Amino acid sequence: MNGRSLLLLVGITLIQGISSKSPIYSVEEEWETFNELLRNPAYRLPTTTRPLHYKVTLDPYFDDAPTPEENFTFKGTVVIDLEATQDNVTQIVLHCKNMTIHDVSIINNNESSFVEIVTSNNQDSSDIEEFICDPVYDFLRIDLTKSLQLDTVYSINLSFTGHIQTGMSGFYRSFYNDTSGRRWMGTTQFQPGNARLAFPCYDEPGFKSHFDITIIRAADFSETISNMPIKLTEDAHNGRKADTFYTTPYTSTYLLAFIVSHYDMIATNGDDDRPFHIYARDNADDTGDWSLKIGLKLLDAMEEFTNISYYDMAEHLDMKQAAIPDFSAGAMENWGLLTYREALILYDPRNSNHFYKQRVANIVSHEITHMWFGNLVTCAWWDNLWLNEGFARHYQYYLTGSVCKDLGYETRFIVEQLHQAMFSDSLDSAHPLTNPAVNSPSSVSGHFSTITYAKGACIIRMTRHLLGEDTFRDGLRIYLKRRQFDVAEPHHLFEALDEVAAEDGALLVYNGITIDEYFRTWTEKGGYPLLTVVVDQRTGLMTVTQARWERETGTSSRPSQWHIPITWTRGNQPDFEDLKPSQIITEQATVIDRGTTGLEWVIFNKQETGFYRVNYDNTNWALLTRALRSKERTVIHEYNRAMIVDDLFALARAGTLRYDRAFNVLSFLQFEDQYAPWIAAISGFNFLIRRLASDADSLSKLYELIDKDLSEAVVQRLGYQEPENGMYMDDLLRMYVMRFLCNIGQEGCVNVARSNFYDWIQGEFIPANMRPWVYCEGLRQGSSEDFDIFWERYLTTDLASEKAVMLETAGCTTNKSSLEKFLTAIVTDDDAIRPQDYTTAYNSAVSGNENNTLLVFEWLKQNYEDVNNTFGSLTSPLNTIANRLLSLEDIAEFESWLDENKDVIGESVYNNVKGTLGTVKSNLEWTSVRLPELVRYFEIGYDEDIIDEIDSSEEDEDDSSEGTSPEESEEDEGPDSANISTLSAITLVVTLFINFLNLT
């Protein structure tokens, strides 16, 4: 599934509004809730029996049931063929949840006889009211009077009733409007453990089986859509129809799916041998054409890459993709029936912006990749989810990039995945990709999905460059072939890669290190390293120290070491294209010979292929600054320029580098006009903007610095207006840059936005890529009448991507009555805002303008019951407000209300929000401590470092300042990683020893 990474687009959290379309978002909370099941063996099914085959029949009703009480319920039966896996099994344990079990019987198929079931009153199995779904563990326990025999197939027959859910999980209901008006539909979302809401089953990924599914529907509904094509449609009771599907591949329960609706096939390739169809409401027109076009290319590319045909995975297998109006996740990889949020599969070239063009393509790619990584070969348990999701996230960029070269997937991977993964994985509480301690409960970070998806993708990318493309591909082919229709654990992947690496000699130069050894250092511990590089410019010896990075302090309390593939290049002979690592460092401190002497910059981590940050000594930073501010700037690869920006902001945030020193290097943005460095910069600036929001004077100076100086080149190259037939990446960058510049009040952006918004209000067309910033700034400058026109157009549009953009910008209004109208729409159950969009809309209302925070708080105090009913809890709505409070006075007022209403909001909510307030207070303290560094730069601006030239005749003279700049000889109490004091004691010893050798 995509989007656990993702309900908000973690890929680009830096853009307010643009980034709030994923996933992901609520889905992460589901995984946190699921955490106890992940870790606690008490929630795991016993492996004493295993399923062989299911026959599932469901008979759902919406608002047309025989009696009102039966509306939105279903009846069902399931027959599960199973066998015992060991002797003396006297209990069968299945999953079921929120359903009533009516009948249970078990047949010994070998003997055609019933198996006696233990009941509380020792009566026969017809009286079994005591068979219930355990509300804690979701277990259905069936005790037997005698042990099951080995090598014997049993059939357990169950009948049950359940409810069509409302929470976008399990078998749930949704609605949509098509040419006939409002329609009900039923659809599914079973990952991670919600098939049990639809029928009793072995609801864990390791229990694979074949499934025969039958869905009974009203005769006027369209044919049901499920994993497989329909095998047979028959008349059922009361004029209803029963759709029976071909047998599924050998699969896990979470990959099952079915849709009961009035959907049409809106796009198809018309190929009977390789059928590929897109389904949606009948008024979706041709918005499925792009996903069909790109999907066909991606499916072909994945078959070629894996050397395994998709259509040969099961007899009768086809490919269907469906647009779902209410969908908690971004998309889901159900085998043969991929389901998506409408905005992530339906694309209108005229009215969907470039974000959605690439997003549809890479989400489709993500789900198609899962047909191999996840479906054909499935993670044995959710603790190894990265085996599914890491590969899907990786290839949603690199597979898509191979068939859509103009959409910039390799470039966007750097800022959307790598930088976001590094941010999420930089706390000591970050969980590992694989947790060897699977039998003890522990908490999971709120960034579970980001680490599992994005870090997994990044480590896979690093390994691909370590082994080389061909070796890596061949290893994956072996892994998939050996584990097909089975589950896998990480060692299966490592063994396959090691086997091919040995044949190809791909690891010969790395001193006997194996993929197994290397990979485990990245998957079995959380976090990642900072490399601190100190260059002796006289000798060319580079001391490289690794230490676990922590984003708040720079220093982790959990020391770790990794096997780090190293790439580097130097100023006099730059080579950013050879990405094969020159060595793997395993020690805390390593000395590398640059091979040259004299002043010359070095850059480690070419094209940011490695998952680590880099800090340098002052002299190297000074040399890099000169290069970046000169015509030599473009010699340094765009991805490394983006890496430098991201690393500098991270180092400065943690106090490892002073902000004035970081900004001295970042001054090169004045000349920078490319995508990756600027997206990284916007992310870093947005963090500072929030931290300086409580100091109007300093914030104004930061805005002025960005406006008048740093954004000069990018604005000059891109301009404000979108040209006809512009370059895709330029149009996308313009959308992000202008949204950012309008938010800081840049005059040119504001004027152009206001003019275009006025034209739009008058009915003129504006390009989709301009709408996010034009809508926002237009509402910010506009009247309540302007908002009313805007809102009416929101209500009447049926393009999901356009509705998402409008929801993300509606909160930009500065009109109090308009803001309250928007907030009321969120909590009013009139379908104006769909449940999946509640959080997006509310966040827009709170953050659209600085003044909105307190206005929303005042509104919430009067409407907290409605807010609680809408969101299910006040925790998130209150935390969203708390995180944006800017003064101790505002915090005190907010805290006072919390204290007065503790009994009303509940102790759990109260404690959670109080914890958030503690963080907010710490942020204010951080600002007061770090502000002088920023003020220093605001006052002085760029100050070129003085670098002493090296006289070769003085090589034998001791120079204790080597690797630092002259200014550091002065007393400086501020934090600064540019001096050697940030190195560990071991590194200091190594450095002194090297200098001693040079002197002798």
The alpha-helical segments, DSSP class H, found in 263-353 are 289-306
Q: How many C-beta neighbours within 10 Å does residue 289 have?
A: 16
Identity of the amino acid at 10 = V
The alpha-helical segments, DSSP class H, found in 342-489 are 354-370, 386-403, 409-413, 419-424, 448-449, 456-467, 469-483
Rounded Cα–Cα distance for residues 369 and 358 (Å): 16
Residue 51: cis peptide before it, omega within 30 degrees of 0: no
Q: Are 230 and 223 in contact (CB under 8 A)?
A: yes
Give 545's strand partners.
532, 589
Supply 36's token pair: 């106890």
Please provide the size of the chain in residues: 1000
Class of residue 382 by CB neighbours under 10 A (exposed 0-12, middle 13-18, buried 19+): buried
Tell me whether residue 210 is annotated as binding: no
Tell me whether residue 955 is annotated as binding: no
Q: How many C-beta neighbours within 10 Å does residue 788 have?
A: 14
Tell me whether residue 370 is annotated as binding: yes
Exposure class string for 384-412: b at 16+ Cβ within 10 A, else e = bbbbbbbbbbbbbbbbbbbbbeebbbbbb
Supply 673's token pair: 């006009």
Q: Which residue has the tokens 């993300």?
A: 808
Instruction: Show the CA angle centred on residue 318, arms to residues 314 and 323, nearest 5°.
Output: 135
- Cα dihedral: 791, 792, 793, 799 (round 10): 90
Class of residue 67 by CB neighbours under 10 A (exposed 0-12, middle 13-18, buried 19+): exposed
| DSSP 3-state of 729 | helix
Q: Which of 30, 367, 550, 962 is catalytic?
A: 367
Class of residue 995 by CB neighbours under 10 A (exposed 0-12, middle 13-18, buried 19+): buried
Known catalytic residue at 949: no
Distances (CA, A) of 129 to 59, 241, 511: 22, 31, 66
Rounded Cα–Cα distance for residues 933 and 691 (Å): 13
Rounded Cα–Cα distance for residues 740 and 746 (Å): 9
Rounded Cα–Cα distance for residues 528 and 28 (Å): 22
Q: Are 950 and 599 in contact (CB under 8 A)?
A: yes
Instruction: Single out the residue of 701, 700, 775 nearest to residue 738, CA to CA.
Output: 775
Q: To which H or E segment does residue 548 belong?
A: strand 541-548
Rounded Cα–Cα distance for residues 491 and 474 (Å): 16
Q: Are 668 and 625 in contact (CB under 8 A)?
A: yes
- Cα dihedral: 947, 662, 987, 966 (round 10): 30
Instruction: Single out the residue of 207, 182, 162 nearest to residue 47, CA to CA.
Output: 207
Q: Are 798 and 763 in contact (CB under 8 A)?
A: no
Q: How many CA atoms lie within 13 A of 62 on its CB side?
A: 18
Q: Please spell the DSSP secondary structure of 605-653, one letter per residue.
A: SGGG-SS-EEEE-HHHHHHHHHHHTSGGGGGS-HHHHHHHHHHHHHHHH
Supply 19's token pair: 């980034």
Residues taking part in catalysis: 367
Binding-site entries: 366, 370, 389
Binding-site entries for Zn(2+): 366, 370, 389
